[in-house]
Amino acid sequence: MPPAPAYLTLQPSEQTLVTAAATIYAAYISTGKVEAGQEKKWMDLAIQAAFRLATVIDASVMADKEVG
In a domain, 5, yes or no: no
In a domain, 29, yes or no: yes
| pLDDT tens over the chain, length 68 residues | 778 878 889 999 999 999 999 999 999 999 999 999 999 999 999 999 999 999 999 999 887 776 66
In a domain, 26, yes or no: yes
Q: Answer whether 0.75 is exceeded by the pTM.
A: yes
Residue 65 CA to its chain's centroid (Å)? 23
Domain that includes residue 18, residue range: 12-59
Distance CA 17, CA 53 (A): 9
Q: What DSSP assignment string belongs to 5-68?
A: PP-----HHHHHHHHHHHHHHHHHHHTT---TT-HHHHHHHHHHHHHHHHHHHHHH---GGG--
In a domain, 6, yes or no: no
In a domain, 2, yes or no: no
- Into how many domains does the chain fold? 1
In a domain, 20, yes or no: yes
